[in-house]
Structure 1
Amino acid sequence: MRVWIIFLLCLAGKALAAPTEEEPVVEEEPIVEDDAVVEEPAVEEVTEVGANPVQVETGEFDEAIEVVEDVVAENPCLNHHCKKGKVCEVDDSNSPMCVCQDPSTCPPSAGEFEHVCGTDNKTYDSSCHFFATKCTLEGTKKGHKLHLDYIGPCKSWVGVIDGITCPGSPGVTLSPQKPQDPSSHPSESDSAVIAPCLDNELSEFPLRMRDWLKNVLVTLYERDEDHNLLNEKQKLRVKKIFENEKRLHAGEHSLDLLAHDFEKNYNMYIFPVHWQFGQLDQHPVDGYVPLGPTPTEASGPMTAVANKMFLSHTELAPLRAPLIPMEHCTTRFFEQCDSDNDKYIALEEWASCFGIKEQDVDKDLVL
């Protein structure tokens, strides 16, 4: 009996001892998990840095600013802008200054399409070569008269005087008349020649120009959804033209139809003419007319003209330069616009050239 009691007590002791022996195993498993958890923060830390592009970009941006500031301190020319024909150099005091560019440092032209023609009737390899050359002539009479005439290589200018065809130069106004023999009138298809602008052709030029300006504005309005090609005030003006059912749509139209449309729908053309002036005018409300040199070079007295707006030869160049090879009356037309021969085209003169009535000229339309 005692043997059985001792035997049962042994079994009970083993049963009680069993959990005690397994507990370390159970406790060891969390320990293993704890070890894994301890390793995870290192992994999470790497993921967190890589998954935060804002922080990375901010860090890189800050670093970039520091680098730029260091570079600016070393090279003041990085933020110093010079006009065409000039490049920035640093003087002895480490201050930036603009000096004339050596034409030989201009990139070589990629082809004839980059050539430009100066008013000296000389072809330059590119606009870079032209403006660099013009800069070297600053302060001279030749440099003052030299301007970019048109895009492309120079062509032969031909004038017609009393029915005689003869070579001319861009700086001379020839008052051409139609020759008796049509064969003596050079063909516009001749790419090496700019034909003379006859009186009847000169009267036709503003008809096409007005229609073209109107169509350009309408096209900009149609494509302006996401490109911000026009400001809000301009959009409101052009919207009225675009939605007008009487508008003459773009196309090949006879001169008679263009003239009739201008007379019938005159109000549609007022804003396009003002808009083009505003696109060219780099110095709105100039407020003066220099008596001698250009405004930037003038050292003498100025004649003040309140609330006047003008186009200089330089401001007019972006429009006339590409037009001349296509419209041979361009030069004569703009010369005629300068009715007072002061070398500037005022807003009133510009509007008059396009047939806009004096009472409809409004500087507030130059938006």
Structure 2
Amino acid sequence: MKAWIFFLLCLAGRALAAPQQQEALPDETEVVEETVAEVSEVPVGANPVQVEVGEFEEGAEEAEEEVVAENPCQNHHCKHGKVCELDESNTPMCVCQDPTSCPAPIGEFEKVCSNDNKTFDSSCHFFATKCTLEGTKKGHKLHLDYIGPCKYIPPCLDSELTEFPLRMRDWLKNVLVTLYERDEDNNLLTELAPLRAPLIPMEHCTTRFFETCDLDNDKYIALDEWAGCFGIKEQDIDKDLVI
């Protein structure tokens, strides 16, 4: 009997103690909320890890504006072979690029050939070199011929030079015939390859041919000199055709 009474007293004590523990929970919650509130009130920037939204974007824009302001060459464009530099008054100006400052070529496909049959490592090297020759006769005549290393040009033999006027005369005749029979609608459908084909094997003799035609070496080929090159007799020359 005493055991049952003791058991009932224990149950009653537990029942009375439970509400007190439940009432204590709100106090603990308030403590946690206050702690979170205190942390949230810490100003941004007090912790170096904290950043505001958009801080990086604003910083990037400001940095870009500063670069443009500090370097006027940023938006100053120069033609091939020239680079932008600042003069004493901080004004941008275009100057010839040093060919040695051009990037090294990656492969053969970057090489180019000039009209004087010289291979350049890249178009950058070519235009930089042409710029350094600006204002000279050589620079005026120097042009980019084609992409890729220059092809080997064999020397013009005497026998080939003898054949050149005949091939040239036939070529001129074909050109005149083509112009006479050209399409009046100007739709540009005429194939040009057949016109050029007869001269391709003789292209390496072109320079030597014109040099032999210029008998007085004045860099101009007069009518009588043309006639001599093509084997035309003097009595067959109509000087009224000269413009």
What is the TM-score normalised by the length of structure 2?
0.50
Q: CA deviation at 1:109?
A: 2.2
SS of match in other structure, 1:31: helix
Structure 2 equivalent of residue 69 of structure 1: 65
Q: Provide the rounded CA distance (Å) in 2 between the counterparts of 1:145 and 1:41.
A: 80
Structure 1 stretches (4+) deviating beyond 4 angstroms?
21-24, 39-45, 157-163
Matching residue within 126, 135, 138 for 1:139: 135
Is residue 2:153 matched to residue 1:175?
Answer: no
Is residue 2:55 matched to residue 1:59?
Answer: yes
Q: Report which of the two structures shows the higher radius of gyration computed on alpha carbons.
A: 2
Matching residue within 77, 102, 107 for 2:103: 107
Q: CA deviation at 1:72?
A: 1.9
Q: Provide the rounded CA distance (Å) in 2 between the counterparts of 1:111 and 1:176.
A: 42
Contact 1:159 1:176 in 2 (8 A): no
Q: CA deviation at 1:142?
A: 1.9
Contact 1:86 1:135 in 2 (8 A): yes
Structure 2 equivalent of residue 88 of structure 1: 84
Matching residue within 147, 155, 163 for 2:151: 155
Structure 2: tracts of 5 or more residues without a match? 1-11, 42-51, 189-199, 204-243
Counterpart residue identity of residue 155, structure 1: K
Contact 1:160 1:176 in 2 (8 A): no
Matches within 5 A, 1:295-314: none
Structure 1 equivalent of residue 74 of structure 2: 78
Contact 1:159 1:165 in 2 (8 A): no
Structure number with the higher helix fraction is 2
Matches within 5 A, 1:1-367: 25-40=21-36, 56=53, 58-157=54-153, 164=160, 175=168
Q: CA offsets per residue over residues 82-120 of structure 1, 9 Å max, x none?
A: 111011111111111110001121122233322111112
Q: CA deviation at 1:136?
A: 0.9
Contact 1:135 1:143 in 2 (8 A): yes
Q: CA offsets per residue over residues 300-343 of structure 1, 9 Å max, x none?
A: xxxxxxxxxxxxxxxxxxxxxxxxxxxx79x9xxxxxxxxxxxx
Q: Provide the rounded CA distance (Å) in 1 between the counterparts of 2:32 and 2:127.
A: 72
What is the TM-score normalised by the length of structure 1?
0.35
**Structure 1's 111 and 42: CA in aligned 2 closer, same or farther, altered over 3 A?**
farther
Structure 1: tracts of 5 or more residues without a match? 1-14, 46-54, 169-173, 179-198, 204-262, 264-269, 274-327, 332-367
Q: CA deviation at 1:29?
A: 0.2
SS of match in other structure, 1:164: helix
**Structure 1's 163 and 35: CA in aligned 2 closer, same or farther, altered over 3 A?**
farther
Contact 1:77 1:89 in 2 (8 A): yes
Q: Provide the rounded CA distance (Å) in 2 between the counterparts of 1:104 and 1:132.
A: 9
**Structure 1's 145 and 41: CA in aligned 2 closer, same or farther, altered over 3 A?**
farther
Q: Provide the rounded CA distance (Å) in 1 between the counterparts of 2:161 and 2:153.
A: 10
Structure 2 equivalent of residue 354 of structure 1: none
SS of match in other structure, 1:81: coil
Q: Provide the rounded CA distance (Å) in 2 between the counterparts of 1:128 and 1:92.
A: 27
Contact 1:161 1:177 in 2 (8 A): no
Q: Provide the rounded CA distance (Å) in 1 between the counterparts of 2:19 and 2:126.
A: 94
**Structure 1's 36 and 99: CA in aligned 2 closer, same or farther, altered over 3 A?**
same
Q: CA offsets per residue over residues 44-96 of structure 1, 9 Å max, x none?
A: 99xxxxxxxxx74x321211111122222222222222111011111111111
Q: CA deviation at 1:146?
A: 1.4
SS of match in other structure, 2:89: coil
Q: Provide the rounded CA distance (Å) in 1 between the counterparts of 2:86 and 2:106.
A: 31
Count matched residues.
156
Q: Provide the rounded CA distance (Å) in 1 between the counterparts of 2:62 and 2:161.
A: 67
Contact 1:115 1:123 in 2 (8 A): yes
Counterpart residue identity of residue 80, structure 1: H
Q: Provide the rounded CA distance (Å) in 2 between the counterparts of 1:111 and 1:98.
A: 29
Contact 1:109 1:115 in 2 (8 A): yes
